[in-house]
Structure 1
């Protein structure tokens, strides 16, 4: 697997934590020195390891926000 760099530039929200200490978080992450984008994934306690996740643009986050606001929970 190819090496890549990442830097968490902003912690926005921690959504949950599992028994082993991994947290599911919404953050802003810069991947390979690119501009930071929104990122939703699980992280180890020390942020050294990560699970699969999704990366969203500003427009995608706006659309997701609007869709969530329309949910009848």
Structure 2
């Protein structure tokens, strides 16, 4: 399996932390040298390991924000 390369360009913020110290983070990440996308996933404290996540371009992130703004919490 090919190695996945990534570079965290900007850390937007942490949403939560698990008891094992992993953080659910929203970051701007360049995957395999491509254009950076917003990425939401769990990360080990040293960013050496990651869980499954979701990547979004700017338009998708705006659409998600609109959906979340419409929620009655």
| Bin for the TM-score computed over the shorter chain | over 0.9
Q: Secondary structure at the match of 1:61?
A: helix
Q: 1:30, CA displacement in angstroms?
A: 0.2
Aligned length in residues: 73
Alignment of 1:1-73 (within 5 A): 1-73=1-73
Which consecutive segments of 4 or more residues in structure 1 shift more than 4 A? none
Q: Which consecutive unaligned segments of at least 5 residues does structure 1 have? A: none
RMSD across aligned positions (CA): 0.6
Q: Which consecutive unaligned segments of at least 5 residues does structure 2 have? A: none
Tell me the TM-score normalized by structure 2.
0.97
Deviations 1:39-69 (A, max 9, x none): 0000000000000000001000000000000
Tell me the TM-score normalized by structure 1.
0.97
